[in-house]
Amino acid sequence: MKKLATKTIDITGIGCALLDIEARINDSFLDKFKLQKGSMTIVEPRFQQEVIQALLDKKKHYSSGGSAANTMAALAKLGKNVAYINHTADDEMGDAYRKDLKSLGVKLPKQAIEGQRTGTCLVLIDDKGERTMLTELGCAGSVSLDEYSLNYIANSKIVYIEGYLLETDQGRKTAYEAAAHAYKNNVQIALSASDFTTVKRQKEHFMKLFDTTDIIFANSDEMRVLSSHMNQTKHKSIIDCSRDFIQSNAFTSKEKTSRLLLVLTQGDEGARLFAGGSEHHVPAKNIKVVDLTGAGDAFAAGVLARLIENSPLQNLGSLACDMAAEVISRYGARY
């Protein structure tokens, strides 16, 4: 793992700011709207509203969300100095969103966007806690970097880039610009794969970003897609796929391979961390799953917190597992 530089901000996250709307459903509801279970789909406002109308008799939970936002909020609760670069609109939902994150101590370098709408994510949760997401981006996907935002990145120890950004042209431009600016200023780059359907759609852009990435977060489904270009991937264990991925041409030099930290989450099998030729397994907590939404975001926060504290590889995962377990034991994506 690469040593962290001395900076004033611990971590700056960049992502799509979304107001989460969570509701319980069954498989027949997904079938009715021809939705793939466990996927994230970017939809038009009209379709999202059609699905919401079909949920009028269901109890719904509202919260300020977005993957990177959840991670930054969790880190702030752990006492870390964090910032979150995003776009929210100058509307009622955006006002509530910004107030919520600021109350936790998360710094928000960007101002509200006038004349647009704040993005929303409809999270449909089945009886096993599996979530299917319908995202209406609003202004969230147009997040850009101004001089103030770039200054935050340059003064951070780690910049955390949410993979969902790669779903839009502007988001991809922002991700590339943030990574280049971080690399230039000796800031470590962390990248979350975010969702296996996003990785399928945007794999080319993930692979381009890996050349300067120091820390990668992926679950088993995402890693299977990331390593799918390799021979006989479908016949290999996910651990072997991860090992092959690290040694693949995604990382163009031994120096880059040796500095990489790969964090692989495996649900009830726990997680495995790979760095510098070493591996460490972290067992999952034995806990009843209520809602899987936000588990990966909380896990990432736990690992990043320990990295900021310069913990060794074998100590990076225990807090992360505790945090993920707390999130999945109750309703809602926030730690």
Q: How far is CA 84 from CA 113, 160, 260, 277, in A?
A: 15, 9, 24, 32
Cβ contact 212:252 at 8 Å: no
Q: What is the per-residue pLDDT for 1?
A: 80
Report the pLDDT value the prediction gives residue 248, as an integer from 0 to 100. Answer: 79
Domain boundaries along the sequence of the chain: 9-17+66-109+141-328
Q: Please give the pLDDT value at position 34.
A: 94
* pLDDT value of position 315: 95
How many residues are there in the chain? 335
The single residue listed with the structure tokens 């409809």 is: 122
* CB-CB contact of 174 with 14 (8 Å): yes
Q: Model confidence over 245-298: pLDDT tens digits?
A: 888 766 655 566 668 999 999 999 999 999 988 999 999 999 998 888 889 999
The residue to which tokens 């100058």 are assigned: 90
- The pLDDT value given to residue 2: 79
What are the tens digits of pLDDT across the range 13-43? 999 999 889 999 999 999 999 999 999 999 9
Which stretches of the chain score pLDDT less than 50? none
Structure confidence at residue 232 (pLDDT): 53
CATH of 9-17+66-109+141-328, one of 3.40.50.1000, 3.40.50.720, 3.65.10.10, 3.40.1190.20: 3.40.1190.20
Strands ordered across the beta sheet of 131-136: 40-42, 131-136, 119-125, 18-24, 60-65
